[in-house]
Each structure stands twice: as structure tokens, then as C-alpha cells.
Amino acid sequence: MKVLITGGAGFIGHHLALHLKRLGYEVVCLDNLSRASEDALKVLRDGSVKLLVGDVVTYKSLREVFNSFRPEVVVHAAALISVDESFEKPEEYFNNNVVGTLNVVRSVVECGVLRLIYVSSAAVYGDPVRLPIREDHPTNPKSPYGLSKLFGEEVVKLYSRLYGFNYVILRLFNVYGPRQPLNQYSGVILKFVYNARRNLPLTVYGDGNQTRDFIHVVDVCRAVELSILTKYVNEVYNVGSGRPVSINELVKVVSTVRKSDVGVVYMPPRPGDIIHSYADISKATTYLGFKPSITIEEGIRELLEVR
């Protein structure tokens, strides 16, 4: 089966490309390389994964890729993904994440693609009104990023209703794993690992009792694989661990894995941060057969060893 991955040189995209190629899929990645890491590009080269340079925002060049490769499945993972940055660059986020998605969906329709997997985000939910968060939870984004992903979902649903292609929408929670780019917008696990390896204190905003749902990128790849195969299409699925982990608990995990205490600096809470969030993954478990395989302890141990 031929699979096109947009954002294929990104953090999730390159892991997914390698995963699907190992399973025997014919994979082509499309990426504009604006945020691709050297590590990701190297493993794609080493894995002999075909990478095309292009941008989902440019419709004409996108159609050329579709016309030449003729994918049966498209995984749309190309996006700008930082909540904080989206406040600084809202137009860029809407252009990439909404217009880019529209261009992908139009290409899916015009090229007769059988299935579209849309990589969305738990950011569409905003502040939870109940926990754990199910797929029927109200969507009330708190950032331009979250809103852009929600608009992308609606574009996918609209064009599916109008033109009949199948889709699966995956709302990812806090994804982490090897070769995740480190920058000012990186997630808490990556920053903790970076500091711990250098014997620097870990920075915690607020009292540290806030919770998140961390999911390893390997498990995300498995969720996408199952979405390609499932008969339960035209649905939205949460992809998380289903387990809330507090930031203080995360500090303890890092200390345990390192077998030594780490310093902690507590800072004032950041405005707009969600206090508690974790996924109800029962729908993905029931209909996709999705079960997370990597614990937070295993994932952090891996990162401390490889970074």
C-alpha cells in the first residue's frame, strides 16, 4: 500500500515513516524542511525513505506530488505545533494548519485517495470540564494553535461528507520520544531530560501538581498504523496513555531513573496553562485495538540514555 506522509521529516512524521516502511508500506514523505532536525533527516536517509521537498500551503506543487505518487492513504501530519508560538504568529499558524489542510483534502478528493489520517491535537478541547476527556467532550480551544487544528478537523469532515472519502482523526495528547527537537517551545519531558543530563535544575511552573497525559511517539505510530487498517472510519479518536502524570511525579521519575535527586526550581504558574488533562482512550482501544506499550518510566529512561 502506498502512503504519503505530509510533515514526514518532522518529529512524528519521520518516526511514522520508518515504522510504516518496516511494515512493508511504500512510503513517501513530503516536508518543507523548515523545522526538520538533522537527526530526523539522517535516519530517513539511513532508512532509505523517499523524501520530497514541498509545502502543503502551495497547492500546485502539492497536486504534482499526489499525481506522481498516487497514494492510497495520506497521513496529514504537517503542521506548526506550538501553543506559545501560535500567539506570536497566528497568521502563519492558520495558513499552515488550515489552508494547508484544505489543500491536502482537495488533493485527496481530486486524486481519489482512499483514506486520510488527520493528525490533530488535544489542544482542541481547551480547559477540561470533565476528566478523563472523551471524544465527545466540548471543543473550546485556548490558543490559535488549538483553533487551527479544530478548523482542520472541520475541513476534513466537510469534504468527506461532500465527496465520500474515508478519514480518521487522531487527537494526540502530549507526545514525546527520541529525536524530538529542542527549542524554547519544547515540551516539559524534553526540557527535563536536557537539564538532567547536564546536572541542571528542573524548572517547574506552579506547584507541580498539574497533570498531563504523556504518550510515546512509538505508540502514536502504532495508532496511525491501526487507523490505516480499521474498518471504523469517519471517527475521532483520542491517542494518549489514559493516565494522568503530575509534573512533580515526572520529577520523581527522572530522579529514579538517574538514581540521584535532581534540583527543582519552582516558578510562578504561566498564564493560560491548563491545570489537568488526560485522555479517555477507551474508544481507540475498543475500535482500533490501541493499547499504549511504553510507560513513562521506560520512555524517560530511553531518552536519558540516548540524548
Beta strands in the chain (DSSP E): 2-6, 26-31, 50-53, 73-76, 115-121, 166-172, 174-176, 202-205, 211-212, 214-216, 235-239, 245-246, 264-267
How would you write 160-210 as a 3-class SS string?
HHHHCCEEEEEEECEEECCCCCCCCCCCHHHHHHHHHHCCCCEEEECCCCC
Contacts of 43 (CB under 8 A, 6+ apart): 14, 18, 179
Buried b (16+ CB within 10 A) or exposed e, 136-175: ebebebbbbbbbbbbbbbebbbebbeeeebbbbbbbbbbb
- Distance in angstroms (rounded) separating the CA atoms of residues 104 and 98: 10
Active site includes 145? yes
Choose, from 118, 145, 176, 278, the residue flagged as catalytic.
145
Which residue from 75, 60, 154 is spatially nearest to 113, judged by alpha carbons? 75
267 strand-pairing partners: 205
Q: Which residues are catalytic?
A: 145
